[in-house]
Structures are given as structure tokens and as C-alpha cells.
Amino acid sequence: MERKKFLICIDSDGCAIDTMEQKHKKCFAPLMVEKWHLEGCREEAEEIWNRISLYSMDRGINRFKGLEMALNECMSRGYLREDLTEFSRWLKETDVYSNGSLEKRLGETKDPVLKKILDWSITSNQAIASLPPSKAFEGVRETLETMSVYGDLAVVSSANREAVEAEWNRHGLIGFVKEVMAQDSGSKTGCIARLMAEGGYDGDHVLMIGDAPGDQKAAEKNGALFFPAVIRREKESWTRLREEGFARFLAGTYRGEYENERKKEFLEALQ
Ligand SMILES: [Mg+2]
């Protein structure tokens, strides 16, 4: 495949596509309440889920890791008793946080909690699939179009592959990207590393766009640059990238003061 000099990695959920709030508030959180019979403290349990996955430094965390945190907090508040030993062991040992990997471990251990977690994850996928169509944030299309002239674009997401590809197709954005890396491709850090190794891009020629601290970390671990979609200011962020940040990226003046300002603004919005 012919490569350009620049690589731009784009997170999907909550960054390019406005899906985070709906997925968490209408699917993951209420289904956790349902599966663990937390109806008696629904409001508190959903608040725990949403705070962890949407409004904290853990925003964008993988669903399984988020579930471990949320269930542990529910237990420490006395809402629930559950033995998470096998689940925590799987989280530590697995390379890929996916239903397939969890199912494999369930086959080996027959642990009833793993079974419940797999059910919750599958039911969540079904619920997400029947949500009303999501929208791309305003400005995304124009920005992707501009960037695709100068660089290779790749989706780097930790969400379910079918969902990501369906969304990018539906919004007519898939044509701008060369590759889609999703939950089944491994960690974002690993995905960026692989793309960089395959294409031989220099760190200063790689930009990761994301809405979560984990996206920033994945960029930094690879020596790549980071541009944040600031929460609740997504449209403004995409416009800024198109009109200002991307030119700096191409010119080699992105790293340093400019990037630090973007990161500062991003983290302040998450506190
Ligand atoms: Mg995201």
C-alpha cells in the first residue's frame, strides 16, 4: 500500500462520533443495574458507572476494566456482593479485552461471574445496536477530508469492530481512512505502534486524536503527538484542528507549547 509521510490516528467513540453519552447512560449503566440486581440503588450505581466512564480521568476506559471498577465501588458501598477473582485474573492476563477472549476463558473456568459479565457485554452490544443512529460531531467530515489529502488516516478505537465500521460507513467517513483498528486489534498503544512500524512514520509525523486520557497516553508511549477533542467542546476542537492544529502538525511546529496548551485545556475539562 502506498504510504504518505504523515499518519493520523482517530479515536471513534466520543471523539469523531457522538456515541459516548448514549452508550453509557442508556446501555452499559442500566444493564449493569439489571444484571447485578442493583435496582434498589439504581441512581447511585448508574452515577458510579457514568462518572468512571464519562467524566473522570478514566473516560474511555475499556468496558470490562470500567465494570471491574464500578462493581468494586458498588461492593465497597455495600450495594452488592460478588466474587471478582476470576474476572480480575482474566483482566490481568488477557491480551485483548473482547467478548471472544472472555468467552474462551469462561470455557476454561466455567466461572458463573464470567458468564454474567459475558451476558452483560453481549446484551450491551445488542442495546447499542438498537440505539437511534448516532451522529458524527460537527466539523469531523471536513477535517478528515482535509487531513486525508496530506496523511494516512486510521481509526484507532477500543470499541467493538462491527459497531465502529457500521458507524463510519453510515456517516460516509470510512472512505477517508486506510485502516480500522478496533477492540479485536489490541490496545491503542499497540495499534499505534504497529501502524508506525508498518509505515515507518517518524514520531513527529504521527498525530493521535482522542477524547480520553488513555488516547493521550497511547500517543505519548509511542512518541506521537496528541490532539484532544475536548469534552462538551467537540465541534470547536475539530474546527481548531482543521484551521490551526493540522497546519502546525504538517509544519513541524505542533510539539511543545502548542501541544501542551491543548493537553492542559483537555485535562481541565475532565476534572
Ligand atoms: Mg473515545
Going from the Cα of 109 to the center of ligand 1, the distance in angstroms, rounded, reads: 32
Is the pLDDT at 271 greater than 80? The verdict is no
For the chain, give the percent of residues with pLDDT over 90: 89
Going from the Cα of 3 to the center of ligand 1, the distance in angstroms, rounded, reads: 26
Topology of domain 6-18+137-270 in CATH is: Rossmann fold (3.40.50)
Going from the Cα of 255 to the center of ligand 1, the distance in angstroms, rounded, reads: 22
Going from the Cα of 10 to the center of ligand 1, the distance in angstroms, rounded, reads: 9
Residue 1's pLDDT band (cuts 50, 70, 90): low
Is the pLDDT at 60 greater than 90? The verdict is no
pLDDT of residue 153: 98
The string of pLDDT tens digits covering residues 208-254 is 999 999 999 999 999 999 999 999 899 999 999 999 999 999 999 99
Treating both helix axes as pointing N-terminal to C-terminal, what angle do 85-93 and 63-76 enclose, rounded to 10 degrees?
150
Is the pLDDT at 259 greater than 70? The verdict is yes
pLDDT of residue 163: 86
Tell me the pLDDT of the chain averaged across its residues. Answer: 95
Mean pLDDT over 44-61 rounds to: 94
pLDDT of residue 244: 97
Going from the Cα of 2 to the center of ligand 1, the distance in angstroms, rounded, reads: 28
The string of pLDDT tens digits covering residues 171-204 is 999 999 999 999 889 899 999 999 999 999 999 9
- Residue intervals in the chain for CATH 3.40.50.1000: 6-18+137-270
Going from the Cα of 200 to the center of ligand 1, the distance in angstroms, rounded, reads: 25
Residue 159's pLDDT band (cuts 50, 70, 90): confident
Going from the Cα of 122 to the center of ligand 1, the distance in angstroms, rounded, reads: 20
Residue 134's pLDDT band (cuts 50, 70, 90): confident
Residue 104's pLDDT band (cuts 50, 70, 90): very high
Mean pLDDT over 125-135 rounds to: 91
The string of pLDDT tens digits covering residues 67-84 is 999 999 999 999 999 999
